[in-house]
Structure 1
């Protein structure tokens, strides 16, 4: 069967559609897995290493090892104004970073993974 230009264009369009579906499916899976952090009595967030490790694509024990080496850093920002009641947590592991925004009940409402986070300079790593 000869391949025509029309068939090639159709295949390309089908491939783009399949790629879009795959991206949408991955996004839906991330949304389906609701992350939840707890607040302790002092108002500090208690991080679940299993959940966090999944975001970095590694194991909880590896992240805990990174803490012991001083390579895992966490930053907390408290929202104000229109973001009152929200908290943004940024976790840096090596040269990558994960950032999650949580509502006042501790449920994840937005997240971003930065494979390379040059804006988070660490003199030990850079």
Structure 2
């Protein structure tokens, strides 16, 4: 993972791996949810396998929803927003280059160094 920070190809491969893993977890989470909602059997092991992921999703959505409320923005727009780092990664930039440019721009405008 650390090697991917300055290698855009490795970075994209790592993101692709985690995206695929996320798709598997999401499909499993949906099946577990449907089983529980409709009264079908779901083993404890299967429920446990998606519990952390489901908690992460709901916690993230709740956090974004609360932030949007405080900032007076529409929750749907806040949930759809992507970070500048995510956009740069999708364009093929590696994390190290993104953060170097980001920190240089902040230093140039005097808005801080972190």
The TM tier, using the shorter chain, reads under 0.3
Larger of the two Rg values belongs to structure: 1
TM-score calculated relative to the size of structure 2: 0.28
- Which has the larger strand fraction? 1
TM-score calculated relative to the size of structure 1: 0.26
